[in-house]
Amino acid sequence: MKKILVLHTGGTISMTADEEGNVKESQQNPMTQLGVTLDHVTLEILEPFSLPSPHIRLRHMLELYRIIKEKADTIHGVVITHGTDTLEETAYFLDTMNLPNFPIILTGAMRSSNELGSDGVYNYLCALRVAIHDKAWDKGVLVVMNDEIHAAKYVTKTHTTNVDTFQTPTHGPLGIIMKHDILFFKTAEPRVHFDLDDISGTVPIIKAYAGMGDGIISLLSPDTIDGVVIEALGAGNLPPEAAKALNHLMEQGVPVVLVSRCFNGIAEPVYAYSGGGVDLAKHGVMFVKELNSQKARIKLLIALNAGLRGKDLKDYIEG
């Protein structure tokens, strides 16, 4: 008999649409009312909070981590229902925490519980199927949506409303949900794990664009921020005035992490002109491999709260 911990946290999967089509929070989460039965499986169902995913903060992610840690000795896996807007960030946060290697699955819905073609119950059942599957162990935190299994590190929301919104650029999914079985193609790379009791800090994300000057960067103060994530152009380049402003921040001790604004590919220092990646790296900008900006922000915050500085911080960020 396997025991799966289910944590309902809110989001579209827990909401209903009114007569005008406006999706709203329900007085009672419909997911808690499901009579799901699986052979040789028991469910422990908790609702630690019920929030639209834009309301999720790092402290909520940390709360989920604490609950899973407390229950770890008595369970064989975890399923978390979550709003899709920030689902990938919660998944990445948990994937970076020091949790057992049993399956931890996040899922959600793109259509509320009473909409035509609602996908919530189906995604939830698929997540449970993955959570009890023996081959789901030691795969890291997984996101299960629309018959696909994705690694928390790489998956991202790509469409505002389509049920096929969660995709993994460059790599593709780790596996698929079949009618009677689950097939894994590959395994995500090993993760560095941390055990945090608290997490705080301010790391803004700035997106680069043609003709970008020092404007928004010059407004940032080392007294009010703990780091910066920059979504750079192409392989990792910036307009020269923006690069100079970032250099000034780094001279004042602010760590700067760079990702590409491109959907596919990896940022790396290639171009040696003013503001190019080679120039940025020489001044101390850290290039993150295969993460989008929202996950790079979480990675930097976790590292800073874990006490990483200097070379240790750079090695972890760029590793």
Residue 197: is it exposed, middle or buried by C-beta count within 10 angstroms (0-12/13-18/19+)?
A: exposed
- CA 218 to chain centroid, in Å, comes to 29
Q: CA–CA separation, 37 vs 23, rounded Å?
A: 28
Helix (H) or strand (E) holding 300: helix 293-305
Is 12 a residue of the active site?
Answer: yes
What are the start-end ranges of the H helices in 58-209? 58-71, 87-95, 120-131
CATH of region 205-318: 3.40.50.40
Fold type of domain 2-184: Rossmann fold (3.40.50)
Q: Which of 18, 202, 16 is nearest to 109 (CA)?
A: 16
Q: 3-class SS at 231?
A: strand
Tokens of 250: 């780094």
Residue 27 has pLDDT above 80, yes or no: no
CB environment 153-176: b (16+ within 10 A), e (fewer): bbbbbeeeeebebbbbeebebbbe
- Burial grade of 201 (CB within 10 A; 0-12, 13-18, 19 or more): middle
pLDDT tens per residue across span 253-303: 999 999 999 999 999 999 999 999 999 999 999 999 989 999 999 999 999
Whole-number percent of the chain with pLDDT over 90: 87
Task: Name the catalytic one among 12, 16, 84, 90.
Answer: 12
Residue 33 has pLDDT above 80, yes or no: no
Q: Quick one: how far is CA 61 from the chain centroid?
A: 10
Distance CA 101, CA 105 (A): 12
Q: Parse the chain into domains and list their residue ranges.
A: 2-184, 205-318
Asked if the domains 2-184 and 205-318 are classified in one and the same CATH topology, the answer is yes
Backbone angles phi, psi at 206, to 5 degrees: -120, 135
Query: Token digits for 293?
Result: 């900006």
Give the distance, in angstroms, between the CA of residue 187 and the centroid of all CA atoms in the same chain: 17
Which pLDDT belongs to residue 117? 87
Question: In whole angstroms, how far apart are CA 290 and each of 101, 250, 259?
Answer: 23, 23, 8
pLDDT per residue as tens digits for the range 189-216: 888 999 999 999 999 999 999 999 999 9
- pLDDT tens figures, 105-164: 999 999 998 888 899 999 999 999 999 999 999 999 999 999 999 999 999 999 999 999
Cα 235 to Cα 222: distance, rounded to the nearest angstrom: 27
